[in-house]
Amino acid sequence: MSDRLVLVTGATSGIGRAAALELARRGLGVVVHGRDGTRVSETAAAIRRDAGGTIEEAVADLGSQRQVRSLAADVTRRFGRLDVLLNNAGTYEHRRRLTEDGLETTFAVNVLAPFLLTQLLLPLLERSAPARVVNVSSVAHTTVRSVDFGNLQGERHYGAYEAYALSKLGDVLVAYAQARRLDPSAVTVNVLHPGVIATKLLHPGFGFSGSPPEEGARVEVYAATAEELAGRTRLYLTDEEPHDSSRLSYDEDLQERFWAECERLTGVTAAAAQAR
């Protein structure tokens, strides 16, 4: 696997760091992404010491669409291939905050950033076929009973958990919509629930602890590398097994409406991404 390359977003702590380490131990090249350059360098150095191999670094704040675009351009310029894009990074915001783009932060980081990054990296992924896109969701998505597009970014009222759960449903909807648009022999798109994991997001957001990050990383590494998943797309994975996501997530009209909103808020359509 030494010639294969994986980009792991949010890889400086928690599940992302554990997944990056395990992928490197398995002989894959890993691009360690984070928003703090010092932490990215420290994490990359630690993984090199532990696992060796090709460990690269990438820095970008996913709350900035300008920086997401720069990240995609940097990865495309520096590397001749990308076999797996692991959209692991996420946030839980206790109060409503806006990004530099004027977007609610939870929605911007958890939904729009992976959508935009994936769209911009699709040409590189397709050139590296067979390639994989893995989006990290959460079982929290199952608590959403309906989607109010007039309050998608907490414009009228904001609740931290409600915003987080909606963003995690968005990750599933986007994954399913994108999977329908791509040839699975070239690029598969799957989504997963890593489990209830003790990360810096879990305890402040939910008030309880969970399993070690390595447990969540196990599901991510499985989605990124398992031979039995070759050519299989539009799956929702947990405990290294496909499971049903929420009933709402299979509504194709909702998937398409959510997809269109992501295109509108990022300004990137499939055609525009392919032209870059």
What residues act catalytically? Answer: 164
Checking DSSP bridges between strand 29-34 and strand 5-8, what pairing results, if any?
A: parallel
Please check whether residue 88 is in contact with residue 10, taking contact to mean a CB–CB distance below 8 angstroms: yes
Phi, psi of 80 (to 5 degrees): -80, -10
Which segments of the chain have a pLDDT < 50? 1, 197-198, 202-203
Q: Residue 32 and residue 25: Cα distance in Å, rounded? A: 14
pLDDT confidence of residue 214: 76
Please check whether residue 194 is in contact with residue 22, taking contact to mean a CB–CB distance below 8 angstroms: no
Q: In 10 A of CB 8, how many CB atoms?
A: 31
Angle, vertex CA 230, rays to CA 29 and CA 199, nearest 5: 55
pLDDT confidence of residue 3: 86
Q: What is the DSSP letter of 90?
A: -
Checking DSSP bridges between strand 241-243 and strand 29-34, what pairing results, if any?
A: unpaired
Please check whether residue 212 is in contact with residue 194, taking contact to mean a CB–CB distance below 8 angstroms: no
The residues that bridge with 220 in the sheet, in sequence order, are none
Q: Hey, is 242 helix, strand or coil? A: strand
Q: Residue 256 and residue 187: Cα distance in Å, rounded? A: 19
Cα atoms found within 13 Å of the Cα of residue 20, Cβ hemisphere only: 31
- Centroid of chain to Cα 129: 19
Please check whether residue 224 is in contact with residue 6, taking contact to mean a CB–CB distance below 8 angstroms: yes
Q: What is the pTM of this model?
A: 0.93
Place of tokens 């963003």: 167
Number of domains in the chain: 1
Total residues belonging to the chain: 276
Which residue from 184, 176, 182, 173 is spatially nearest to 230, judged by alpha carbons?
184
Q: Which amino acid would we find at residue 74?
A: D
* Domain of 210, in residue numbers: 5-275
Q: Residue 239 and residue 2: Cα distance in Å, rounded? A: 26
Checking DSSP bridges between strand 241-243 and strand 236-238, what pairing results, if any?
A: antiparallel
Q: Which amino acid would we find at residue 170?
A: G
Output Rg (C-alpha) for the chain, integer angstroms: 17
Per-residue pLDDT tens digits for 248-273? 999 999 999 999 999 999 999 765 55
What CATH number does residue 117 fall under?
Answer: 3.40.50.720
Where are the strands (E) in the chain, listed by range? Answer: 5-8, 29-34, 55-59, 84-87, 131-136, 187-192, 236-238, 241-243
